[in-house]
Amino acid sequence: MSVNIDEVYGSIKISDEVIAATASLTAVSVEGVAGLTGGISESISNIIGKSNQAKGIKVNTNEENVIIDIYIIVKYGVKIPEVAWNVQEKVKREVESTTGIIIKAINIHVQGVDYGKRFDESEEIVKANQDG
């Protein structure tokens, strides 16, 4: 599916994949987002060898509305509602400014927490306390 924008000289069609790629790049740039997850569809794509630039993004379009669902993994220790709000605002602003399409809704689905850096830091503190 794609979104049509009527112009003076004709129409412009923007594919869902373009919207999803823009949303994906923007979402991962938000502080507190560790990454995106595509769930079962990502697993199937990996099995058949098809890469997905916009994993973790689902775009629903119709004649009047664009709704984006974003599936994120947050970093440990962040305020999840704050990160989700920042993703919504930044993605809405970026997609609307680059495509000219008005976004009706952006739904954030927190799928997990990345503990990576926090464990590394705590291990260093434990080692320092044992050495000291």
Convert the pLDDT of each residue in 73-95 to its tens digit.
999 999 999 999 999 999 999 99
pTM score over 0.85: no
pLDDT of residue 119: 47
Which domains does the chain carry?
2-131 (3.30.70.1350)
Convert the pLDDT of each residue in 16-67 to its tens digit.
999 999 999 999 999 999 999 976 555 455 555 545 557 899 999 987 789 9
Across the chain, the runs of DSSP E, i.e. the strands, are 2-7, 10-15, 33-36, 57-61, 66-75, 105-114
pLDDT confidence of 9, banded at 50, 70, 90?
confident
Distances (CA, A) of 29 to 23, 38, 90, 97: 10, 17, 9, 17
pLDDT of residue 63: 76
Report whether pLDDT(127) > 90: no
